[in-house]
Structure 1
C-alpha cells in the first residue's frame, strides 16, 4: 500500500509542534500521518493522535519506541498545555453562563474581543474590573500584569511610555506573538537563524505551559543561577558520554580557527558514537607554529581523557601538527595521530578548482548567478520556473559550495532554458541588458553544460565523502577508505585515458596517501563486513598491513594480540555466527560496529577491537562558529571571576550546539535563503556583484521578493554510504596510486 501513498506537503498553517515529527500522505482521498521515527502509519485521529503516540501516552494507539526522550518530553508538555487551555476555556464559559443571562453572553463576548488587544497596556488602577469574563484562575488582568511574584511587570512603568505601546493595532493571536519574537531578536542583534535552534520551540512551549503572568528572568538570573544550573546539566551529559569511552574508545579532536581579530583558537573536543563533547578552547596565537607547545597541549588533553580510552588524536595537517603528532605517538604508543579528513578533502577540491578550464566554467556560472540574485524580477522569475528551488546551495566550505552549486545548476538546466525562451522573459527589461544577454549565451551554450557535467562527475564523489565524514548518522571510520577508492574509480571511469585521470589522481595522492599512512582507515575497511566480503581474491597488502598495525598498536598485551590473529581466520572464512544467514543479510543493513556487537561473540577479542575502531570519526572539523563570547573572553583587561563565568558560558554554548546536531538529524527546518547574511561566507562569489559591473537603476526592493519555498534547499542527499559505481575492489592501480615516474610526466599537463 505504501507504494500507492501520495506525499502531501505540510502547509505553513499547520503550526502544532507535532507536525515537525511526522509526514502526511494521501491514499484514496483520505489523509494519513506517518511517524518519522518508527514509521507507524495512522489513518485517523489527526495530529493529536500523533502527539499522543510520540508522548508515550497509551490509550488511542501504540506508543513510539524510537522517539528521542527530548521530543517525548516536548510532546507531553504540549498535551498538558492543551488540557490546561481546554479547562480554562470551559471554566470561563461556565462562569459566564452562571453570572449572565443567555441574551447577555453575545454582547459581553464581543466586548471581551474588543479589549483583548489592550490587555498588555498599563492602565490606571480604578479599582474596577474591565469585565467579568476577563478573570482567570490566577486572578484578573491586572493581577497578570503584576505577575505571580507580586512585583510590577517590566511592561508597566509610570514615568515612561509603556513598551507594550509598540503592539497597538496588532490583533491578538499568532501574528502578535511572532511580531513580539521578531522585535526581540532585532533589538538584541541575534542571528536570525536562531529560530532554527532545536531549543527554540521547547522554550515557547515551556512559556505557554506556565500560562499568563509568567515573569521573564532578569539579567542576573541569566548570568547567575540559570547559567550555573546549565553548567551542571551539561557536565552531567558529558559524564554520560565519558561512561561509554572505555567500551567504544574515543577520538580527541583539535579544531583550529581564526577570529575576526586574527586570534587563533583551538577547540578541544572528544568524539564517541554517543556524541561529541567540548572540553575547552585555547588561545593558540602564540603557540600554533611551535610543535613543542602543540605537543604539550595535546599531551595534557590525552592524559585528561585517559590514554586507555583514546584511539587517535585528529588535528590539522600542517607541518607543525604533524611533528607534534609524531611525538605524541612516541609518548603514547597505543594511539595514532591522524590528519583531519574533511580538511584534506577540502584542499583537494580547492586544487581541482584551480585547473584553468574548471576555473573558467565556474566563472561563467558565477556571472549568471550574480545577475539573477541581484535583481528581484529575475530572481522571482527563476524561482517560478524552478518551482521554488534555488540555484545557490551553501555547503560547509567555499570549494564544496562551488561544486555543489554547479551540480544543482546542471539539474535545473532545462528549467533555466525554459525561462529564457518564455514570453515572460522576452517582455522583461533585463532580457535586453548586457548582463542578461551574457546569461542567455551561457544558458544556450552546449559546451558550457557539457563541461559542467564533466566537472560534476569528477567532484561529486569527493563531495559525498566530505558529507560522509561530517555525518552524525554513523561513524565514518568504516567507510572512508572505500569512499576514497570510489573517488579514484569515478575519475578513471569519467576520463578513461590514463594520461587524463592520473592528473587528478595526483591531486588526491598529494593531499592523502603521501601525507601519512592511515592504518586505522584501512582497518576500518577490513572490519566492515559490507566491504570485506565484497573482495574477490586476496585482500590488498596495504589493507592487511593496516589491520595488523592496528592490532600491534592498539592492543599492547601480546597474548591478546595472538588471540586476535587467530580469530581473524574465523572472520575471514565466515565461521560460526559470522556465517549465519541473518549475519549475511545484516552486512548491508546494520552499522558495522552493531554487526560486530551482534555476531562477534565467538571472537570476543577481535570484536572488542573492531567495535573500538569502527566507532571512530575521521574529521575534527566543527561547525559555523558564533563568536558571541570569544571577543570578551580574550579581552586583555578582564576580571578573573568574569573570565571564569565566560569560560563556562562557552562550555555550555558549544556543548548545546554539538547536542543540537544530533537532535536535529530528522528535523525539517525552514528553507535557507542563499542571499542571507548568514550564508555570505561560503556563497559570496556567487551572489555579490563586482564593482565594475554596470549600475542598475531597476527595482531592488527585497520586500517584493518571493521567498524560498519550505525545504527547497534541503532535499535529501544521496546515500553517501552506498556509492554504487562498480562492485568489488580489484583495481590494483587505484591502490598503488601515481608512480614517481608518472608524476614527473604530469608536471606540464
Structure 2
C-alpha cells in the first residue's frame, strides 16, 4: 500500500535538480520556502536545505524524519560532505601579495592601560612579588562601584573624613589665628561667586562660597560679611596691588611710548624668519638685544625692583607679609636712583605706588609686620622712631589682645624693649645670624626667641 504523503500532485514539485526534492514537496507554489516531507508528511519552513537535514537526521535546525531509512540518511550525508569538500575559499591574490610586502592585514591587538599589569603570576618569584601581583589581579577584577554607593554611603564617609581633618586646623585657628582670603569670579550663568578660604600654618583650605551677585564686592562688604571675631585685620591682596602699580606705571607717557615701540619691534622680529635669524646671529643666539644708556634702560631699572617685590608677594616659599612694605621702600630708593634723583621723573611713579598702597599694603598689620621683621629692624633701627609704624604696631596689639589690657601693657611697655635692645633670646648669636638672612629659605617664625606673650602677636602676624 502506497504512502498517502507521496500522492501529492507533481505540479507542487520544485523545478530543481537538487537531491533534496526527491523527498520534499512545495506546500504552496506562492510560498517557496514552505515544504512538506514525502515520507512523514511534516511541514516546515526553511526550504530544501532544511529538508535535507530532516531526511539525513542532521541535528541543529529541524527534527529528524521518523521514516527515513539508513540508506537514505547515509546518501544524504555523503552528498552534503561532497558539496562542502568542493567549496574552497581562497584569498584574493592581491591580498596575498600585500601581506607578503606589508605583513598581515589583520587588525593588531593593542594593549589597554591595564593589560600591562595583568600578567601571569610567576611561581618562581618571591612571595612578595606573587602577593603584589595577586593584589593587582584582585583590583582589576573588582566590581565597579555602583552610582548609589558614590552618591550616598561613600559621599557621606568622605564628608565625615574631611570634617575630622578640619578639626585639627580649627584648633590651630583658635590657638594661633589665621587669615581669611576671599576671591570673586563669574560663572557661566553670569553669577558673581565669592569664595572664602582660610590660611594658616597647617595650609590653606576652602571654607565656603557665596552668591554675591546682588552686592558690590568691596572691602567694606567683605569685612562686614566676615566680621565674626573682634581680633581681625583687613588687608588687600599684595600681588594684585603690585599688578595695579605696574599697570599704572606702564601707562605713564615716558613709559607707554617705549613699551609700545618695544612691542612693535618684537612682533616684527619674531614674525619673520629672516629677521629672527639675523637678530640671533648678532646676539649670539640670545633673545635679548644688548641695551645702551637709553630710556629702555631706565624703564628696566624702574621695573626691576617692582617685579622683585611682586615675586616676593606672589611666592609661597616664605611668609611675605613682613617683607612687602620694606621691599616697596627699597624699590622707591632704587627708582629714585634710576631717575637721577630728579623729582619730576620719580614723583609720578611714587604717586602711583602710594595710591595703590593706600588701604592695601600700608595697613596696621603691614606696619607691625615690617616692625617685627628682624631683618628690617636690626638693619635700620630708626624704624622704631617712625610714628606711622609705631601707630600700626599699637593698633595690632590692641586688635590681637582686644580687651586684655594687662597683656597689651606687657607687650608694648615691657617685652618690646627686649626686641629693640637685642636682649634675652633676641641677643643669641643664632638669632642674630638668622636675622641677617633674606633669601627664599628664610622663615622669621623659626628664629628662637623663647616663650612670652610677645610671641603670640608675632605668630598671628
Q: How does 1:146-545 map to 2 (within 5 A)?
A: 210=136, 214=140, 220=147, 224=151, 231=159, 234-259=162-187, 262-288=190-216, 320-322=218-220, 325=223, 332-371=229-268, 412-414=288-290, 450-495=294-339, 496-513=341-358, 517-537=362-382, 538-545=384-391
Cα distance change of structure 1 residues 346 and 578 upon mapping to structure 2, 3 Å threshold: same
Aligned length: 332
The 2-side partners of 1:230 and 1:369 are apart by 52
Q: What is the CA-CA distance between 1:388 and the residue it aligns to?
A: 8.9
Gaps of 5+ in 2: 1-105, 113-117, 124-131
Of 399, 409, 418, the match for 1:562? 409
Cα distance change of structure 1 residues 516 and 359 upon mapping to structure 2, 3 Å threshold: closer
Gaps of 5+ in 1: 1-114, 122-133, 140-205, 290-319, 392-411, 415-445, 614-749
Q: What is the CA-CA distance between 1:237 and the residue it aligns to?
A: 4.3
Cα distance change of structure 1 residues 486 and 286 upon mapping to structure 2, 3 Å threshold: same
The 2-side partners of 1:581 and 1:261 are apart by 59
The 2-side partners of 1:560 and 1:251 are apart by 22
Instruction: Determine helix, strand or coil for the equivalent of 2:346.
Output: helix
The 1-side partners of 2:181 and 2:313 are apart by 13
Alignment partner, residue 549 of structure 1: 395
Cα distance change of structure 1 residues 475 and 226 upon mapping to structure 2, 3 Å threshold: farther
Alignment deviations for residues 273-317 of structure 1 (CA, whole Å, 9 cap, x no partner) = 33111112222222236xxxxxxxxxxxxxxxxxxxxxxxxxxxx
Cα distance change of structure 1 residues 531 and 516 upon mapping to structure 2, 3 Å threshold: closer
**Contact persistence 1:326–1:337 (CA under 8 A):** no
Cα distance change of structure 1 residues 516 and 591 upon mapping to structure 2, 3 Å threshold: closer
**Contact persistence 2:238–2:314 (CA under 8 A):** no
Q: How does 1:698-713 map to 2 (within 5 A)?
A: none
Q: What is the CA-CA distance between 1:234 and the residue it aligns to?
A: 4.8
Q: In the alignment, is residue 594 of structure 1 matched against residue 440 of structure 2?
A: no
Cα distance change of structure 1 residues 137 and 378 upon mapping to structure 2, 3 Å threshold: farther
The 1-side partners of 2:281 and 2:202 are apart by 43
The 1-side partners of 2:449 and 2:284 are apart by 48
**Contact persistence 1:273–1:474 (CA under 8 A):** no
Cα distance change of structure 1 residues 221 and 364 upon mapping to structure 2, 3 Å threshold: farther
Alignment deviations for residues 196-222 of structure 1 (CA, whole Å, 9 cap, x no partner) = xxxxxxxxxx99x94798369679499
**Contact persistence 1:342–1:466 (CA under 8 A):** yes
Q: What is the CA-CA distance between 1:502 and the residue it aligns to?
A: 1.1
Alignment deviations for residues 471-495 of structure 1 (CA, whole Å, 9 cap, x no partner) = 2112221111111211211211111
Q: What is the CA-CA distance between 1:341 and the residue it aligns to?
A: 2.0
Q: What is the CA-CA distance between 1:271 and the residue it aligns to?
A: 1.0
> Which structure has the larger Rg over C-alpha atoms?
2
Q: What is the CA-CA distance between 1:507 and the residue it aligns to?
A: 0.6
Q: Over the residues paired in the alignment, what is the CA RMSD in angstroms?
A: 3.9
Q: What is the CA-CA distance between 1:372 and the residue it aligns to?
A: 5.2
Q: What is the CA-CA distance between 1:564 and the residue it aligns to?
A: 1.1
TM-score, length basis structure 2 = 0.62
Cα distance change of structure 1 residues 387 and 250 upon mapping to structure 2, 3 Å threshold: farther
Alignment partner, residue 120 of structure 1: 111
Q: What is the CA-CA distance between 1:523 and the residue it aligns to?
A: 0.7
Alignment deviations for residues 77-118 of structure 1 (CA, whole Å, 9 cap, x no partner) = xxxxxxxxxxxxxxxxxxxxxxxxxxxxxxxxxxxxxx9x73
